[in-house]
Amino acid sequence: SDADTDATLDAGSLRTPIVAVLGHVDHGKTTLLDRIRGSAVQEGEAGAITQHIGATAVPLSTISEMAGALVDPTDFDLPGLLFIDTPGHHSFSTLRSRGGALADIAVLVVDVNDGFQPQTEEAINILKRTGTPFVVAANKVDTTPGWNPQQGEPIQQSLEKQSERATSRLNENLYELIGDLSGEGFSADFYWRVQDFQSNIGVVPLSAMTGEGIPDLLTVLMGLSQRYMKEEMSVDAGGPGVGTVLEVQDERGFGATLDVVLYDGVVREGDTVVVGGRDEPIVTEVRALLQPRPNAEIRAEKQFERVEEVRAAAGVKIAAPDLDEAMSGAPVRVVRGGDEAALEAVKREVREELAKIEVD
Ligand code: GDP
């Protein structure tokens, strides 16, 4: 039957790695995320990227279209990348999964002209503490004097078209950045020279404004996930959903709702879920699962559409009763096959996870 086929496919499914963007204010985090969304939309067919609640999914096929010769899609079996839309290390540090970072990998955005700044250091400390693998996006290469912009091109192709003066000016900045990283105890290099991304930090020169170097960034993130995190990406895709609350938001017609990033399993309408609350874990039942309506240009009443189920990794809005006391950063877990003992076990897990988060 279809259900059986589904179950077989689900066994050992690989999920999308969750990516966070960090960096000093004004170094270009928001522009980078916008550009990734925008260029993915231009590049692919309709539906090439999906806007989730709080996150953007970029499938492998879109990455390989953007990256051209950089990517051989048969090298990858991870489905793509899921970018958390709220940049910055505040959201990064409050968003946990089982006590660790919710994001599997991070992009540290550094303005090539400005180099390391206080919030760059803060971000690095958080990445060190959580042991999160990251790449450095050396942003704003287009501001190099004499730069000849190459919209959306891989960075090495663009570099070939730059004057010697521009290239050497950019290189000075990049070497300074590599020096700063080494001062933090990271051996770093231009990403194309890095053999082992586990012990070396890859630096990707790019421009969030012109898009050059973005294909490289996406390729490096895919490679990093595929090489070193494939095991962690292997999920029980048909199992009970597990996620983290990004935000608790009032929505007209629904009351308090949860914006959730699901990182394991599946959540369905009607599921019993346990979510971390101010005093006690909240036990409730999913009334509706909501996703942004595709191409919702007009912020009209119906900005969401209902879906029956959502699979990890994904962002989703969960509408359910009794969510007023739910907290952002708290765990959410689906209880399935629900006898009382199963429910109590999940409540205990949620309590323990919350305690871990509050200690840090
Ligand atoms: P955030 O605070 O890190 O999110 O930074 P923003 O994305 O808001 O960017 C700060 C400013 O830098 C904005 O005026 C952007 O337009 C500009 N900016 C960001 N990336 C680039 C880039 O690659 N090139 C240029 N020339 N400007 C950029």
Higher pLDDT, 113 or 88: 113
Residue with tokens 């290390």: 89
pLDDT at 29: 97
pLDDT of residue 7: 42
In this predicted structure, what is the pLDDT of residue 229?
Answer: 87
* Choice from 21, 31, 35, 120 to test ligand 1 binding pocket (greatest atom count within 8 A of CB): 31
Helix 60-67 × helix 214-228 angle, to 10°:
130
User: Per-residue pLDDT averaged across 72-82, rounded?
Assistant: 90
Q: Which atom of ligand 1 is found nearest the CA of 206?
A: 23
Is the confidence at residue 299, as pLDDT, over 70?
no
pLDDT, tens only, 302-353 = 688 999 999 999 999 999 999 999 999 999 999 987 689 999 999 999 999 9
Q: Which atom of ligand 1 is nearest to the CA of 23?
A: 3
Q: Is the ipTM of this complex over 0.95?
A: yes
For residue 46, the model assigns a pLDDT of: 45
Sign of CA dihedral 23, 197, 13, 330: negative
- Residue 96: which pLDDT band, with cuts at 50, 70 and 90? confident
Say if residue 43's pLDDT is above 60. Answer: no
Ligand 1 centroid distance, CA of 93 (Å):
23
Query: What is the average pLDDT score of the chain?
Result: 89
Ligand 1 atom at minimal distance to the Cα of residue 87: 4
The answer to whether residue 11 scores a pLDDT higher than 90 is no
Strands 105-111 and 134-139 turn out to be parallel
Highest mean pLDDT among 149-163, 219-233, 336-350: 149-163
Residue 214 CA, ligand 1 centroid: distance in Å: 14
66 within 8 A of 39, measured Cβ to Cβ: yes
The answer, yes or no, to whether any atom of ligand 1 lies below 6 A from the CB of 16, is no
Distance 208 CA to ligand 1 centre (A): 7
Q: Does the pLDDT at position 209 exceed 70?
A: yes
**Quick check: CB of 35 below 6 Å from ligand 1?**
no
> Does the beta carbon of 91 sit less than 6 angstroms from any atom of ligand 1?
no
- Given a cut of 50, is residue 93 above it in pLDDT? yes
Model pTM? Answer: 0.91
The answer to whether the CB of 88 is under 6 A from ligand 1 is no
The DSSP bridge pattern shows strands 134-139 and 200-205 to be parallel
